[in-house]
Amino acid sequence: MSEKDRYPDIAFDELSTLYKNDPDKFEEQRRALIDQTIENFPEDCRRRAQGLQFTIDCKLDRYKDPIMRMNKMVEIFWEHFSVFQETINDPEKVLQERRAARQGAKVISLHSRSERDRPWGETH
């Protein structure tokens, strides 16, 4: 598959016009382009990319104004870039912080003490 097939030419002017004239169609096209891009990722990276895109979409859904959405996108970009930069500069520190942040889960019973002490199937 050639680069041309993987990433079709997308004219900014066309998308801008589509956004102004038919926001629903624009949203459909935007989603299709993102999905197509993720489908071209190596298979072992797709699930992570889909999860990241879901997170981004959830954050952006709160903003209907295009300028506000763009500002939020820039903020998200710089947050992730900062984490990337930290990882490149001191990977061991980042790994240690992630390990320290993991906490074991405490399992709690959802039954009352008297229900826990009864054999299975008893109702009294």
Domain boundaries, the chain: 3-99
pLDDT at res. 122: 61
CA–CA gap between residue 34 and residue 118 (Å, rounded): 54
Q: For 64-106, how does the pLDDT look when each residue is reduced to its tens digit (9 = 90+)?
A: 898 999 999 999 999 999 999 999 999 999 889 888 888 777 7
Mean pLDDT of all residues belonging to the chain: 85
Length of the chain: 124
Distance CA 52, CA 50 (A): 5
Non-local CB neighbours of 116 within 8 Å, separated by 6+ positions: 109
